[in-house]
Amino acid sequence: MSDIVVGAGASHSTLMNTHWDQVVHTDRAERFRDALGQARDAVAAARPDVAIIIGSNHFRGFWLDMIPPFTLGVGEVLGAGEAKTPSGPQRTEPEFARALAEHLIDRGTEVAISARLQIDHGQTHAIQYLLADLPIPVVPLVINVFAAPLPRLDRCAELGRNVADAVRALGGDRRVAVLASGGLSHQLPWPADWRDPRGDDEEFLVEAWLNGRGDWQRYDKRRREIITAAQPVLFPEFDEQFLADLESGQLARYTEYSSAELEKLAGNGGQELRTWLTMAAALGFAPGRRLAYSPMPEWLTGMGVGLIEPVGVS
């Protein structure tokens, strides 16, 4: 029987790759970076055969012409390569991914599938740091966290539970890591609602989200300028509580929030915490370990790393 042997969650930010020389809170940045290394070592120690990476996509692999709530990469997986993140074909295991998709649908989670999926830093950041130098194939599971209407948080937890059931139902004896990329609190300078953009920047972003398929690089320079010009908005008290709830095994309580309530507490970037909830649900909401928390205004994000190691799995 296959089984999940480790779960990890980590924030992502391409500014970590491109703006390290502008960091003021160096101790915080180094604490986060070192925690990524600790998480990577814990993943390596668990000896997984495959890693399911639950993450978002920042309109470089999905666009408003087609954006499902949940999508599983079941074939070729390509890194977009923006901001010094991994680019090109990634190591995959299509047979496992396709079987996983079938089992998920049998359990009532109708995931979309992609036989050629382009992922961006919403997942390649995890490949770059949590799987650094590890020859582990990946199965991307993309959750829509940006284009309203978003999937309910309780449905994300259900997805996680069904991932666990599906892994156990698969034949063989694969050891599976489940990694979550995103969060913690942050506020992106994006439209509150893509259906109602306000001002030139928001209208440009919606245009990029709608028309970027096959041509996202054309929009990337100005997109990057809009992001780097943003004023940081963090919610450290929320982040501290979220990580405390990870440690006590209480993350399931966040499934009671609506999207609007979560945004009020953690900013629009806090919608990415769906990835952590899905991962934690796949681990049975077992108590975890907080490895680091670093509020990083320079990276516009509350940067956290957490780990869940299931009891009884050797």
Residues contacting 102, CB < 8 A, separation 6+: none
- Residue 267 pLDDT level (bands cut at 50, 70, 90): very high
The 10s digit of each residue's pLDDT in 6-35 is 999 999 999 999 989 999 999 999 999 999
**Calpha distance 53→43 (Å, rounded):** 12
Q: Are the C-beta atoms of 80 and 87 separated by less than 8 Å?
A: yes
Domain assignment present for 260 = yes
Neighbouring-strand partners of residue 143: 70
Domain assignment present for 126 = yes
Domain assignment present for 225 = no
Q: Show the 3-state SS of the chain.
A: CCEEEEEEEECCCCHHHHCHHHCCCHHHHHHHHHHHHHHHHHHHHCCCCEEEEEECCCCCCCECCECCCEEEEEEEEEEECHHHCCEEECCECHHHHHHHHHHHHHCCCCCEEEEEEEECHHHHHHHHHCCCCCCCCEEEEEECCCCCCCCCHHHHHHHHHHHHHHHHHCCCCCEEEEEEECCCCCCCCCCCCCCCCCHHHHHHHHHHHHHCCCCCHHHHHHHHHHHHCCCCCCCHHHHHHHHHHHHHCCHHHHHHCCHHHHHHHHCHHHHHHHHHHHHHHHCCCCCCEEEEEEEEHHHCEEEEEEEECCCCCC
Q: Are the C-beta atoms of 178 and 54 separated by less than 8 Å?
A: yes
The 10s digit of each residue's pLDDT in 49-108 is 999 999 999 999 999 999 999 999 999 999 999 999 999 999 999 999 999 999 999 999
Domain assignment present for 76 = yes
Domain assignment present for 248 = yes
- pLDDT at position 11: 98
Is residue 311 predicted with pLDDT exceeding 80?
Answer: no
Residues contacting 14, CB < 8 A, separation 6+: 82, 83, 84, 85, 121, 125
- pLDDT at position 217: 87
Percent of the chain with pLDDT over 90: 83
Q: Are the C-beta atoms of 302 and 29 separated by less than 8 Å?
A: no
Q: How many structural domains comprise the chain?
A: 1
Q: Which residue has the higher pLDDT, 306 or 205?
A: 306
- pLDDT at position 313: 66
Query: What mean pLDDT is predicted for residues 173-189?
Result: 95
Task: Show the domain range for 69.
Answer: 3-188+230-308
Dig out the tokens for 30 from the structure. 């180094």
Q: In this structure, what are the phi and psi dihedrals at residue 312, rounded to the nearest 5 degrees?
A: 85, 0
Mean pLDDT, the chain, as a whole number? 95
Domain assignment present for 77 = yes
Q: Which of 151, 149, 119 is nearest to 51 (CA)?
A: 119
Domain assignment present for 124 = yes
Domain assignment present for 203 = no
- Residue 314 pLDDT level (bands cut at 50, 70, 90): low
Q: Are the C-beta atoms of 121 and 85 separated by less than 8 Å?
A: yes
- Residue 254 pLDDT level (bands cut at 50, 70, 90): very high
- pLDDT at position 229: 86
Q: Which CATH number do you get for residue 132? A: 3.40.830.10
